[in-house]
Amino acid sequence: MSLRVLTLNLWHDQGPWPARAERIRDWLDRLDPDLVGFQEALRSSSLDQVAELLGPRLPHRDYGCAGVLSRDGESFEFGNAVASRWPLVGREEQRLPDRGDAETRAALHVDVEAPFGRVSFTCTHLHWRFHHGDTRLRQVRAVADRVLERRPRDGFPPILVGDFNAEPDWDEIRFLSGGHAIEGRTVYFHDAWRVAGDPGEPTARREPPGCTWSTRNRFARLALEPDRRIDYIFSGYPTAQGLGLLERCRVVCDDEQDGVWPSDHFGVVAELRTDPLPEGSRSPVW
């Protein structure tokens, strides 16, 4: 048995949303994930976008507001959502550092009561502007600190997913993967694509490995931004018994049908080990 985790930025209801929703449902049915983190999900008094999208799939859900959008006289919450195959037994919303302007971000932390133990799962979405790396650095430190504080002791490694709006060699991501210190503070999470990424079939385009923002996608092309990898699944170091070991990762929700892409972002799915390794292949205790 593996734990299958998916992250996807929904691009709220932009573009041909009903057709996009069908494309996302098709991918969900194919992937059959156990845990999903959605970014840019909408909610209002008359709308629950994730409930509408999922239907009977992944019945255990939660939502955290990051900001408010106003449109046609109605206010919509804009934020992160999680959906799980198993019950959610704890939650926390975390407001992230911002720049004092209209762009506000948040993280949603939940605890999942899975058959193999409790899993701490966090979904987030960081500032998007290229030159806001200073804000993203403050955000990743705040998120990482809370993820590590909430993780089950001696249990399944914590999982952090989302749209980080930062490339792998930027300080924000290097901090999360142990390569950069913020005010003398360092942390380490496995970057699922880096550890277990499946490049799939080669393409003629010069996309970076694991690309999740691609100008192949006509919805992304509208932003006039370069191809890059900005959506991630991170996990804590696996236990000595191998629980949480990353076994596979790939880019998904990355195809077009009849001119419709699932979102402006591609998604990422990863599989983590939930059974102990055989005795002879376990890590030694130093």
- Residue 204 pLDDT greater than 60, yes or no: no
Architecture of domain 2-280: 4-Layer Sandwich (3.60)
Q: Which residue has the tokens 């002879």?
A: 280
Q: Report the pLDDT value the prediction gives residue 286, as an integer from 0 to 100.
A: 43
Pairing of strands 159-163, 190-191: unpaired
Per the model's pLDDT, the better-predicted residue between 36 and 205 turns out to be 36
How is the chain split into domains, by residue range?
2-280
Q: Is a pLDDT exceeding 70 seen at residue 205?
A: no
DSSP 263: -
Half-sphere exposure of 235 (CA within 13 A, CB side): 30
Give pLDDT, residue 202.
62
- What residues does 42 pair with on adjacent strands? 78
Phi-psi region of 176 (alpha: psi -120 to 50; beta: other; left: phi over 0): alpha
- The pLDDT confidence band at residue 71, using thresholds 50, 70 and 90, is confident
pTM assigned to the model? 0.95
Residues 117-132: what's their mean pLDDT?
96
- Using CA atoms, how far apart are residues 132 and 87, in angstroms rounded to an integer? 36
Q: Assign 193 to helix, strand or coil.
A: helix
Yes or no: say if 40 and 262 are a contact pair by the CB < 8 Å rule.
no
Q: Return the pLDDT at 281.
A: 65
Q: What is the pLDDT of residue 52?
A: 97
- Summarised one tens digit per residue, pLDDT across range 171-194 is 999 999 999 999 999 999 999 999
Amino acid at 55: G
